[in-house]
Structures are given as C-alpha cells and as structure tokens.
C-alpha cells in the first residue's frame, strides 16, 4: 500500500482543521509541509509556529520539507515539530552530518533532490536517510506539471537501495494525479506528495484512497 502525504501548500488555511479530519477519516497518515524562505526558492510559505499549530490538531505524522538556504541553522527548531524532516542536497550544508543530527533529535531523516540533480549524487548519503524525496517539479510553487525524468531517478534509487539492503522510503513530489501517480509507484515511489489534486478535489476521501491503493 502506497503512503500519501498531502501537501498543505495549496490548502485553504481557514478550513484546514476540517480538511485534515477528512483526510484522517480516509486513512491518510502523513501530512507534507513545505517550508520556503524566499532565498533557496523564490517563494515564502510558513515556519515553526504554523506547523506547531497544525500538530495540535492532527494525528498524522508531519513530513516537513525544508526548501531553505543553509538548513543547518534551523534543524533543531523544526525537529521539535516534525516527525519526518528533510532538506535539499543542493542547499549547501554538510548533508551526511545533518542527516545524522536529524536522527539524533528524534526525527526520521530525508534528503531531497531537485530535477537537475542526478540520483547518483546522493548514493553515499542513503545510509543516513529514512526517506529520499525526488522533486518531479521545480521546488517553490504548487500546480506544476510532472517531469517524467523523475521516473528514471526513482528506478535508479530503488535499484540502489535493493542492491545494498537499504529500506528507506522513496517519496515523489510535484504534479501527482491520477495519471502520474501509478507511473511513480511503478518506478519505485512508496510515498506520494499531492497538493491541489487532493485538497481541491470534490471528493478528497475518494482521491486519497485511490492514491493509497496503488501498488507495484
């Protein structure tokens, strides 16, 4: 069964508590939170206070995706409100050391790669990862189209993990819908991030269940 991590980036924050309860009723166990600083990506979203508020109103695990410059500066703060905590390989920190620090703070660790980054670049980091996130759009904005190049990256990562006995989750983020989700899962994705496709759906429960029912 595939895991679903709906992204609140495209949600209506005035009705978010109600929407989260609806997703929980569908069996969704993770929630994706995109933190943007306007430097690493050309957009600004939210920070620790909002995530702390969300934590008080849901039982879902919080999957926090840091799209920020020099993430090492804020790891301790975000670890207090996260279950899964990830940052970008391209953000300019000592990735191996930072992944280990995330684990030491009680969170599951994740490394994220942009569309232009080859998966081979992070092979040596996988022992320190509980999850790898492959961006299938350019990070920073919701509503973009899925980039098929992400599928080959997922295949390479899955093969590397299987060959070396690693069991980390493979997450994909960007342009996930009824057409692209099965392709991503077939390529190796175990966690799907979907924003507008879930939160803007007429029947989000049905959409969520259909995504989680996918399997290779």
Q: Which of 19, 77, 173, 202 is catalytic?
A: 173
Q: Are 75 and 98 in contact (CB under 8 A)?
A: yes
CATH of the domain at 117: 3.20.20.70
Instruction: List beta partners, residue 85.
Output: 64, 109
Q: Are 168 and 132 in contact (CB under 8 A)?
A: yes
pLDDT of 143 reads 67
pLDDT of 1 reads 86
Query: What is the gyration radius of the CA atoms in the chain, in angstroms?
Result: 16
Instruction: List beta partners, residue 66.
Output: 35, 87
Digit-coded pLDDT (tens) for 149-190: 999 999 999 999 999 999 999 999 999 999 999 999 999 999
Question: Total structural domains in the chain?
Answer: 1
Q: Which of 19, 34, 63, 130 is catalytic?
A: 34
User: Is 34 among the residues known to form the active site?
Assistant: yes
Query: Tokens 């109600």 map to which residue?
Result: 18
38: left (phi over 0), alpha (psi -120 to 50) or beta: left
User: Is 94 among the residues known to form the active site?
Assistant: no
Q: Which domain holds residue 62?
A: 3-212
Q: Are 144 and 173 in contact (CB under 8 A)?
A: no
State the pTM of this model: 0.96
Per-residue pLDDT tens listing for the chain (216 residues): 899 999 999 899 999 999 999 999 999 999 999 999 999 999 999 999 999 999 999 999 999 999 999 999 999 999 999 999 999 999 977 999 999 999 999 999 999 999 999 999 999 999 999 999 999 999 877 667 999 999 999 999 999 999 999 999 999 999 999 999 999 999 999 999 999 999 999 999 999 999 999 986
Q: Which strands make up the sheet holding 169-173, listed edge to edge?
A: 3-4, 191-193, 169-173, 131-135, 108-113, 84-88, 61-67, 30-36
Q: How many residues does the chain have?
A: 216
DSSP string, 174-185: SS-STTHHHHHH
């Amino acid at each position: 069964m595939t895991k679903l991590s709906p992204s609140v980036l495209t949600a209506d924050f005035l009705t978010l508590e109600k929407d989260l309860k609806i997703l929980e009723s569908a069996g969704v166990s993770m929630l994706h939170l995109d933190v943007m600083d306007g430097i690493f990506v050309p957009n600004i979203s939210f920070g620790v206070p909002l995530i702390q508020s969300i934590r008080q109103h849901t039982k879902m695990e919080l999957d926090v995706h840091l799209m920020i410059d020099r993430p090492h500066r804020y790891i301790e703060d975000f670890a207090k409100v996260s279950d899964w905590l990830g940052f970008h390989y391209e953000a300019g920190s000592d990735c191996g050391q930072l992944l280990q620090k995330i684990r030491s703070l009680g969170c599951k660790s994740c490394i994220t790669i942009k569309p232009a980054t080859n998966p081979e670049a992070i092979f040596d980091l996988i022992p320190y990862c509980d999850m790898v996130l492959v961006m299938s759009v350019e990070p920073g904005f919701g509503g973009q189209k899925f980039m098929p190049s992400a599928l080959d990256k997922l295949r390479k990562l899955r093969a590397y993990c299987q060959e070396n006995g690693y069991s980390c989750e493979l997450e994909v983020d960007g342009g996930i819908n009824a057409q692209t989700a099965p392709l991503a899962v077939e390529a190796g994705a175990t966690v799907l991030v979907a924003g507008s496709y879930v939160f803007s759906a007429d029947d989000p429960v049905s959409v969520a269940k259909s995504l989680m029912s996918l399997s290779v």
